[in-house]
Amino acid sequence: MREEIRNIQELLRRQTYITDAAVATSLYLAMALGKPLLVEGPAGVGKTEVAKSLADALDTKLVRLQCYEGLDAAAALYEWNYSKQLLHIKLQEATAASAAEKEAAIFSESFLLKRPLLEAITHQTRSPVLLIDEVDRSDEEFEAFLLEVLSEFQVTIPEIGPIKATHRPYVVLTSNRSRDLSDALRRRCLYLWIDYPSFDKELEIVRAKIPAISEALSADLTRVIQAVRKLNMVKVPGVAETLDWAAALLALNTQQLDPEVIAETAGCFLKDEADLRKFETELGDGRLKEMLSPVS
Amino acid sequence: MTGSETQPGLLTDTVLFCRALREHGLVVTPAEAITAVATLNLIDLDDRQETFLSLRSALTSRVEDFPVFEELFEDFWSRLKPKFGKTVERDALSAGARQVRLSSQGHRPKGLAFFLEHWGCDRPGDKEPIKAPGASSAENAAEKDFSLFGADELEEVARLARRIAKRLARNPSRRWKPVARGPRIDLRRSLRKSLKTGGEIIALSFRQRKQKKTRLVVICDVSGSMDLYSRLLLQFVYGLQNSFARVETFVFSTSLERITAHLKDRSYEQALERLSTNIQQPGWPGCGWSGGTLIGPSIAAFNSGWPGLVNQRTIVIILSDGWDTGEPEELAASLADLKRRAGKLIWLNPLLGGPAYQPLVRGMQAALPHIDVFAPLNNLASLRRLERHLIL
């Protein structure tokens, strides 16, 4: 394995982001090739966390663009600060400046409200990490617009002219696959799929994030979560849920898992009523022992 | 670094590898090939896992590509490193990749085919799920009955669903609403607000078109008599729900089940796999089909169980052939109740497509007075016509 990849893995680990070779390799390539990284996977496996930890590891700024239905270029790129412009016009009324001068003044950069995309490409000192979160929630038109920005890292504002990135941001896109992204966008990106973690990896994550929890308990609770993921639930618990549950058990000062404690706290990792019912019947059937027995 | 100059042999191998991937349906254009070569210059080529992960990152674009990639990578690697030959062991990571292999050896765009193969395949009396017809000419494809559809044509259904969904989602109302930031300046409100500041406009007000919040409720008959159609129509609904948030989906035969959550937020295959495993479990409507169809009670159950789902902004679509073993009066009463609250009630009947069909079934007769739109849904043409009914 290359030194650089090992370094990335080590740096992320220091941010308590436990990762595997696939994540580290993809991040290394994305940085080395200057390509955006598209991260997909089920909800709650730490897709967003990849970008956050990367920014922390590189000690650079994280610029986050949260996508939603109806997100448009104005909210993502830039807007003019109308009220400031109006005030400025008012103040300028008494001066002898010509109309052209006044116009030039109000369409200068100080009247520009930078939104995430513009902010990411105008960073002066070093490359920030640009996180485009849940890109599948945005509309297809926005996707096309995004493609344009991501291929050139240049934005043209009619009144000012083109603005080109001085430091190209590292771009991470995440998607929950609620909608299929276009092939064009997929092709522009390197691809990374993050699945639910294996038992060992998840245990390591719990240990890293919640160090106060006892070793035996963390192993047990991880086993239960791993078993729950196999139960064909409507809402499969992610790593975030595992951590919530671990924190809850710690707060309750639980020493050992038993059916009562699990039933009381199951709401931490099961967020659907039908799932809860299903899980309770499983618990009632005495499946807990089976879940807790260390399987290979 | 293994060398900034790519060796000619490596270059040829990589290009061949890319071509093989393309032939297996992956989106690998010359641009990806260039990325792949650039990637190989950046990594340690003696490390199999690293090469595998890097190329996978560069050359695949969805998780469904992974199994194909993994298989073809074996060839590529054995050509690249003949000394290891075929005895090279699959590492832990490629085993992980195998886990996400999504059933059926078939690869990408086969969602529908997969669905048809696996849907309720363990049901008794299900001899041949669907006969895939031979070659079909493009002209008559639109007129062909769904029950004769082959896997390829089913993709068209999904495409149509997405188009209809898009139309539903982008349905601006004539009314405006004030917004904090929007595409248009609201002059009236801006001037009104300026009075506070002595007639000086300081802050602008904006407005934008309201969105029509049309909701779609689909109640789909999955009883035995609808077998061939319901698979396909649920597929259609999946396509809708995938690209349009406000869709609620129910299935019924003798009882009613809400399956919205089962179709949501998942990849095509995952959702279908989940549905088809669930539908074989006892207690699911799909299993109760031998007992006949109870349309009336199912609709009544919907009315009482989910009253909040239906209002004047809701289009309710019932997909059924009207073969009801219950009482027609009960069906009429429940439909009347539903009609009173819904914006539009559409009944889609696959049998209506047949030229000789008359809605003489007792259930259908009872239902007709309460339905806004009674339309066939047996081929692509009828699916296209559905588009114009989906407007409130």
CA distance A166 to A124: 7
Looking at CATH, the fold of the domain delimited by A3-77+115-193 is given as Rossmann fold (3.40.50)
* A22/B93 Cβ within 8 A: yes
Q: How far is A5 from chain B (nearest CA, A)?
A: 9
Give the residue, B182 or A25, on which the prediction is more confident.
A25
User: How high is the pLDDT of residue A203?
Assistant: 93
Give yes or no for A190 touching B (CB within 8 A): yes
Picking from A39, A187, A174, the residue whose alpha carbon sits closest to that of residue B26 is A187
Best of B22, B41, B49, B61 to substitute, by most chain A Cβ atoms within 10 angstroms, is B61
User: Both tokens of residue A196?
Assistant: 């639910």
User: How high is the pLDDT of residue A243?
Assistant: 93
Give yes or no for B108 touching A (CB within 8 A): no
Give yes or no for A276 touching B (CB within 8 A): no
Average model confidence (pLDDT) across chain A = 88
* SS3 of chain B: helix, strand, coil, percent, to 5: 55, 10, 35
User: How high is the pLDDT of residue B146?
Assistant: 60
Q: Which of A140-144, A196-200, B240-244 has the lowest mean pLDDT?
A: B240-244
Which of the four pLDDT bands, split at 50, 70 and 90, describes residue B278?
A: low
Give residue-wise pLDDT tens across range B95-108: 444 444 333 333 33
Residue extents of the structural domains in chain B: 8-99, 158-167+213-389, 173-211
CA B93 to chain centre: 30
User: How high is the pLDDT of residue A4?
Assistant: 86
Give the residue, B274 or A204, on which the prediction is more confident.
A204
The full DSSP string for A102-169 is: HHHHHTSGGGEEE-HHHHHHT-SSSPPEEEEETGGGS-HHHHHHHHHHHHH-EEEETTTEEEE-SSPP
Q: How far is A256 from chain B (nearest CA, A)?
A: 31
For range A111-117, the mean pLDDT:
91
Q: Which of B75-79, B199-203, B213-217, B304-308 has the lowest mean pLDDT?
A: B199-203
Picking from B260, B252, B361, the residue whose alpha carbon sits closest to that of residue B300 is B252
Residue B352 has pLDDT above 60, yes or no: yes
For range B201-225, the mean pLDDT:
82
Residues 12-41 of A with CB under 8 A from B: 20-22, 25-26, 28-29, 32-33, 35, 37-38, 40
CA distance B380 to A146: 34
CA distance A81 to A75: 13
User: How high is the pLDDT of residue A98?
Assistant: 85
Residue A289 has pLDDT above 70, yes or no: yes
The CATH code belonging to domain B158-167+213-389 is 3.40.50.410
Picking from B249, B247, B267, the residue whose alpha carbon sits closest to that of residue B63 is B267
Task: Write the residue in B63, B202, B203 that is nearest to A193 by C-beta.
Answer: B63
User: How high is the pLDDT of residue B268?
Assistant: 56
Q: Which of A18-27, A169-178, B155-164 has the lowest mean pLDDT?
A: B155-164
Q: How far is B328 from chain A (nearest CA, A)?
A: 33
CB contacts of B204 in chain A (<8 Å) are 82-83, 86
Which of the four pLDDT bands, split at 50, 70 and 90, describes residue B94?
A: very low
Task: Write the residue in A37, A87, A176 that is nearest to B265 by C-beta.
Answer: A176
Give residue-wise pLDDT tens across range B128-187: 333 333 333 333 455 566 666 665 666 677 777 877 777 777 677 788 888 887 778 888
User: How high is the pLDDT of residue B292?
Assistant: 64
CB contacts of A85 in chain B (<8 Å) are none
CB contacts of B32 in chain A (<8 Å) are 187
Give yes or no for B27 touching A (CB within 8 A): yes
For range B216-237, the mean pLDDT:
76
Q: Which of A167-171, A183-187, B76-80, B145-149 has the lowest mean pLDDT?
A: B145-149
